[in-house]
Amino acid sequence: MQKIIASALVIAGVIPSASFAQSLPAGFEMSGYIEYSDLNGDGFDENFGRMDANFAHHNLIGNFGVSLGIDALHVDGNTRSELYPAITYSFGDHMISAGMTRSVLDNGYLPERQILGSSLFDLQLPGIGGSYMKQVLLQSGAGADNIGLRWDGAFGNTKVGVSYNSLSTSGSPSVDAFAVAVRHSMPGLSSTGELDAFAGFERIDASGSAVDVWTIGVEGQINKFGYGVSFGDTDFFSGNHVRGWVDYDITDRLEVSAEVLSLNDGSGSTVYSLGASYEIWNGFVAEANYIDDDDGNTSTTEISVRYEF
């Protein structure tokens, strides 16, 4: 716990506060989080840090802008990071990005919540909650070159995105990643709730061998209750999955959550999580999660402190 408190103080010193974010120049956007977690389970005790952030100014010179994404992971004394700088061009409700772009499965379309409320499981289960390409770049440590092109567009309540990335390392064949995602908002279903439908597809082609990832689902909010369900399939696990979750805001600062993830990968395992989070101050969140499966073999407790901006 002392490590977690110390990390919170470090975060406070290096990440802009909410008051600073409000004083940013017009047109500048920033979003993301930085997190430190302590995990305990059967036979292991792990500490690690995680950062996922996006910075952008889309009208820096006329319709031209710049964006920068940052992914970072610190574990076992080693830090791995990946940068996503790009030049953007906006016109109407559309934007084209070129450079080291992110996949459309990683921001703007699929649910942002971590799988089972855990940074650990979110990294260990690529292709369920986002792009597999992101996991490869962050965890490989191979220093792969990422060249990409991305288009994002809005048509009323529907957003659509398409991205293409070519990944390459010295002496290795290139890997091509193609992704498409869509998100549709249905705000008029009731006076007290909101509902979004989402879907994403990704194909990764390496040396003529292609693997596919897809997911489809809905998420919404009714008063203090949040909920969601998704179905998907990934060739990386040789099976499909079903994921469902609920959240409840006890107060403006305290939230409890539960999630179920069923993996049809031959083992037929179902994993459950129960969690609670409390906003301590101005974007700082303390969170605790308990995760286990139906056989009682993956009991894990994760305590974390996170700054969201």
Strands (E), 186-269: 193-206, 209-222, 225-234, 239-249, 254-264
User: Residue 161: what pLDDT?
Assistant: 98
Structural tokens at position 214:
């897809």
| Sequence letter at residue 39 | L
Q: What are the structural domain ranges in the chain?
A: 2-308
> CA 256 to CA 234: how far, in whole Å?
29
> CA 211 to CA 195: how far, in whole Å?
31
Please identify which residue in the block is written with the tokens 């990683």: 106
Could you tell me whether strands 175-185 and 64-75 are parallel, antiparallel, or unpaired per DSSP bridges? unpaired
What are 133-160's pLDDT values in tens digits? Answer: 887 777 665 567 889 999 999 999 999 9
Angle at 70 between CA 64 and CA 72, to 5 degrees: 175
User: Residue 290: what pLDDT?
Assistant: 95
Bridge partners (DSSP) listed for residue 82: 71
What are 9-55's pLDDT values in tens digits? Answer: 344 444 454 444 555 677 789 999 999 999 888 777 888 899 999 99
pLDDT tens sequence for the chain (309 residues): 334 333 433 444 444 544 445 556 777 899 999 999 998 887 778 888 999 999 999 989 999 999 999 998 888 788 888 899 999 999 999 999 999 999 999 888 999 888 998 887 887 777 788 888 887 777 665 567 889 999 999 999 999 999 999 987 765 667 899 999 999 998 766 656 789 999 999 998 887 788 888 999 999 999 899 999 999 988 766 578 999 999 999 999 999 999 999 988 666 689 999 999 999 998 999 999 999 987 766 688 999 999 998
pTM of the shown model: 0.86
- The class of domain 2-308 in CATH terms is mainly beta
Closest CA to 222 of 187, 248, 194, 196: 194
Distance of CA 33 to the CA centre of its chain: 10
User: Residue 137: what pLDDT?
Assistant: 79
Q: Which residues contact 36 (CB under 8 A, 6 or more apart)?
A: 3, 4, 7, 8, 11, 47, 48, 49, 50, 304, 305, 306
| Sequence letter at residue 190 | S
